[in-house]
Amino acid sequence: MHGTPRLTPELVLRAYAEGLFPMAERRDDPTLYWISPEARGIIPLDKFHVSHRLARTIRSGRFTVTADRAFAEVLAACAAPAPGREDTWINAEIVSLYTALFAKGHAHSLECWYRGRLVGGLYGVGMGAAFFGESMFSCERDASKVALAHLVARLRSAGYELLDTQFITSHLASLGACEIPRRAYMTKLKKAIAKKAVWPGYCPAPSGSTMGASAALALGETGLTGAEDSTGGPSWPGWLVLQLITQTS
């Protein structure tokens, strides 16, 4: 790995396009490094796996899931120590960079709420039809999995082609993540970033039955996708998320 000088959001985006991403070794280490794994983790958007128990949780609506409503809070939670994860790779410069990327519309978050409290979520970067997942957190059972399921539904509805997880964990593998060689990843990456997908894409809305869906612009039409809750954002109904994840083209 090679140390880098202070980065800019624009440089980070150019690096993503070349298959690189920045990380710190520890939260208190001010140095960032460019990473490009030989084996890259991805979640094929048509192969996201939902267990029966997770499907019940999603369908129940136990968690309210919003997008881009609490990016700073999600980033802070991902950076914070947690049981079994006493240290993280998210240092102060990562926080500054991705906060700037969010302000410019390139970084995004999904938030899981329970009784008005943020209990899980994830954040990442969108470019073209590729989404680069950076980190997730959970302090309620399945909260991060529900957030990821909602992310996959949104990406599929918007025509995204690549969901990059960078590395593989047993947690991600249980949800359908796999590793591919760097060369295969670069082929997928170049194809995906050459296309355009608009975050958060098109929100499918009910059309005649509880299992039908039609395309409607998400922005300004939140009533079509779910209720406006106390967190201030639209929440997609669980049955719709499950439909989008499992439907085939």
Contact status, residue 3 vs residue 33, Cβ threshold 8 Å: yes
Q: What pLDDT, on a 0 to 100 scale, did the predictor assign at position 131?
A: 98
Greater confidence (125 vs 199) lies with 125
Six-digit token string for 233:
């954002």
Predicted local distance difference test score (pLDDT) of residue 204? 46
Full-model pTM: 0.85
pLDDT value of residue 232: 43
Comparing CA positions, the residue from 99, 149, 95, 145 lying closest to residue 120 is: 145
**pLDDT score at 28:** 81
| pLDDT score recorded for residue 223 | 33
- Name the band, by pLDDT with cuts 50, 70 and 90, for residue 242: very high
Instruction: Report yes or no: 218 and 66 within 8 Å, Cβ to Cβ.
Output: no
Do residues 81 and 87 lie in contact, with contact meaning Cβ atoms separated by under 8 Å?
yes
**Across the strands, what pairs with 65?**
112
In a 3-state reduction of DSSP, which class is residue 176?
coil
pLDDT at residue 33 is higher than 50:
yes
pLDDT band at residue 200 under the 50/70/90 scheme: confident
Q: Give 82's pLDDT tier (boundaries 50, 70, 90).
A: confident
Mean pLDDT of 9-38: 93
Residue 79 backbone dihedrals phi, psi, to 5 degrees: -80, -20
List the beta strands (DSSP E) in the chain: 21-23, 33-35, 39-42, 64-67, 107-114, 117-127, 130-138, 162-166, 178-181, 202-205, 214-217
Q: Around Cβ 247, how many Cβ atoms within 10 Å?
A: 14
What whole-number distance in Å separates Cα of residue 143 and Cα of residue 37? 28
Q: Is the pLDDT of residue 48 over 70?
A: yes
Q: Fill in the amino acid letter for 238.
A: G
Q: What is the mean pLDDT of the chain?
A: 85
pLDDT at 237: 87
pLDDT surpasses 60 at 221: no
Q: Per-residue pLDDT averaged across 112-122, rounded?
A: 96
Task: Determine the pLDDT at residue 216.
Answer: 37
Q: Distance between CA 19 and CA 21 in Å, rounded?
A: 7
What is the pLDDT at residue 247? 76
Distance, in Å, from the CA atom of 67 to the CA atom of 149, rounded to the nearest integer, reads 13
Q: Tell me if residue 45 falls in helix, strand or coil.
A: coil
Q: Is the pLDDT of residue 207 over 70?
A: no
Q: Please name which of 122, 199, 155 lies closest in space to residue 44, comparing C-alpha atoms.
A: 155
pLDDT over 80 (residue 212): no
Residue 229: pLDDT band (50, 70, 90) is very low
Tens digits of residue pLDDT in 144-177: 999 999 999 999 999 999 999 999 999 899 999 9
Higher per-residue confidence, 139 vs 28: 139
Spell out the residues 6+ positions from residue 198 whose beta carbon is closer than 8 angstroms to its own: 158
